[in-house]
Chain A
C-alpha cells in the first residue's frame, strides 16, 4: 500500500523527522480559511499517489487567502492527467497546504529492502529533487549505500558515514544521522518496504527538512497497525485489486490486460506460465488469475464471472495442474459452475493434468467442453477460438 504525501509526513512527524508546517484540506474554502489565520507564503499540493504533480500544474504557490482559494479551486477542478503507468489519471480529493521553504540545497535519502544481502539498505545522494532512476543513470557514483545489520540495528555512525561518502554539503551533517535514525525506525515500526525523502531540503536558515514523502507499506504487515485500515479508505482503489477482493481472491491474484484470451490457473507461477503460453501461441491475454488451491464449483464460478464480466475475453483458458487438487473434483466444479452462472457464455478450453486427470477430462468432454492435455496445446486452441 502506497501512502499519500500527507500520510507519509504524519509518520515522519511521529518518528521525529522534521517536516514543513502544514494543513490537510479538502476544499478551497478550508484552504483560504487556514491561510487567513496563518499569514505567510504557502504552497498548495494536490494529494495523489501519481508522480508528476508539478508538471501537471498541481502544485501552486499562494501569498494570501484569495490566492490560496484561487489556486486550490484550480487544482481541484480537474483530475491528474493520465500517464503511462496510470492510463486513467487520478482524481484529486484533497490538498496539502504547506509552508514555503527557502531551500538552499536538495539531497536524496531512502531506505528499502535489498533482496540479495537480505538487509535494509539506506541510499543517499547529494542530487535531490529529481527522479532517483535518473540519478542512478547520470551519476551512479553519487549514490552512497549502507546495508544495515538488523541484529545490531541503526547507530549514528551509519548516518555520518553516508553523509561523508555521498559528499553531502556540510550544512546537512549535524542533523543527518537523526534523519536516518528516523527512517530506520519508521521502516520497522510501520512495516515500510520503501521510505523515500526526495528532496531532503537544507534551508537557507540551516534547517534540514523532509520536503516530500514517499512510503510504501507491506500489505502483509498492515494488521500490526489497525489505524492503517482508515488510511487505506481514502486511497484511490486499484480497480483490479478491488475486483479480486470482491471475488474472494487475494489482491495480488488478479490483473487485467488488453487482450481477449481469459485465463485461470492454480498457483501464481503456473498462472504466469499460462500468460506466457498464450503469448507464445500468438494471442493476447485478457487477464492474470491465480485461483489458488481447492478449485471448487463456487470458486470457479466466481473466477469465471470475474473474467467474463470485467474483461472483453472471448474464450476462457483454464489451466489446472492437479497436484493436491484432484482432477475429477476440479472438472465437476467447472461443469457445475457453468450450469449455475447467469453471466454471458464464452467457450472454455480446459487443460487438466495431474491427479485423476483422465476421469476429469471425461467429465468435461461429457459436458461438451474442450479438454486438452498440455499447456501449449490449450493455449493454441484458446488463441484459435478467440480469433475465430
Chain B
C-alpha cells in the first residue's frame, strides 16, 4: 500500500499539450504512471505525441477513461478554473503544479471543492516509488520502501530522499505539499493517511519557516501517532523576519512561523529535529531501532 496513489490510479493531465505538460507526461509515463489521457480545450479528438487521447473538457475525459486523478499544468490565471472543472467532473484527487496562483483563488477553491483532495499548488506532486508518480519529481532518486515523506519544498525533498535512499531507507509515498500560504493538503492530512498505511513504518517531515503547519503536525503526532518513528527537519532557520525567501509561504511575521517555535513543538511531541538534512537517516535509524 501507499497513500493517495497506486499503480492503478487513472491519471489525466490538464494542459497536456503545453510544453511543461507534454514533457512531464513523458517522464510520468516512463516511470509507469497510468496516464489515460489529457485535456486541452479545442484539441479534443487529437492524439498527443505520446499517443494519448486529448479531450476538450475534463468531463469528456472522465467519461471516456474513468480517470480519478488529475495533474494540472496550466498558467496561474487558469489554475482555479482547472480545479473547479476537475471537481465538477467527479475527479477525486488533483495535483496542482502551477506556481503563482493568486491566494484568494485558492481560498475559494478549498472552500467549494469538497470531496476532491488537492495537492499544492506550487508543488512538485507526489510519488509512490515503484508504482506511480504524479507531478515533476525525478523518479530515479526514489526507492520503494517503508518511509513516508512530506515536504513543503521540491529540491530539498529530492536532497533528503537521495540521502535516505543512499542510506538504505526506501519510501512508501513522498508528497510535496507546496510552498504557498493556502494549500489543499497539509502535513496533518498526510500524517493521518500515513498512520493508516500498512506499508509506512516511519515518516520524515520536512518543514520550513512560516505558517503553523509544522506546529499543527507536531500536535497531531503527539495526540494520534506517538508510536510512529518520525524525524523532522526545518529549512530556512537563518532567514530574517518579514521577507519571504522563494516560497510565498516561507515568511516569518512577528513571532509567527519562527524556526524555534517549530523545533520546540516537534521536540515536545518526542520528534527529533535534524540540524541538517544529512543527519536525517541516522536519526531515523535510531528511532526505528528503538521501536524494534
Contacts and interface: CB of A to CB of B under 8 A. Distances in A.
A382 B77 CA distance: 41
Nearest to B251: A252
Interface string B126-152: 000000000011101100000000011
Interface string B95-138: 00000111111011011100000000000000000000000111
Interface stretch (B1-9, B10-18, B66-74, B153-161): B153-161
Interface in A330-380: 353-355, 374-376
A309 interface: no
Q: Taking chain B's interface residues, is the majority helix, strand, or loop, or is none over half, making it mixed? A: loop
A250 B76 CA distance: 15
B155 A323 contact: yes
B239 interface: yes
Contacts of B235: 269, 272-273, 276
Contacts of A8: none
Interface in A193-225: 193, 218-221, 223-224
A95 to B, nearest CB: 25
Given A220-B76, A290-B246, A376-B276, A272 B239 contact: yes
A85 B137 CA distance: 37
B175 interface: no
Contacts of A149: 111
Interface residues of A, number: 53
A133 B250 CA distance: 20
A116 interface: yes
Contact of A354 (B152, B158, B240): B158
Contacts of B158: 321, 323, 354
B211 interface: yes
Interface stretch (A15-23, A66-74, A138-146, A260-268): A260-268
Interface of B: 27, 76-77, 100-105, 107-108, 110-112, 136-138, 140-141, 151-159, 162, 179, 181-182, 206, 208-209, 211-213, 216, 235-250, 254-255, 275-278
Interface of A: 85, 113, 115-116, 118-120, 133, 149-151, 187-188, 191, 193, 218-221, 223-224, 250, 252-253, 255, 257, 265-273, 275-277, 279-280, 285, 288, 290, 321-324, 353-355, 374-376
Given A149-B111, A255-B245, A279-B237, 7 more contacts: A115-B211, A118-B182, A119-B107, A151-B108, A218-B102, A271-B246, A376-B276
28 contacts: A113-B107, A115-B213, A118-B107, A150-B112, A191-B102, A193-B181, A218-B104, A220-B100, A252-B245, A252-B246, A253-B246, A257-B240, A266-B155, A268-B245, A269-B246, A270-B155, A270-B159, A272-B209, A273-B156, A273-B159, A273-B277, A276-B238, A279-B238, A321-B159, A323-B154, A324-B138, A354-B141, A375-B159
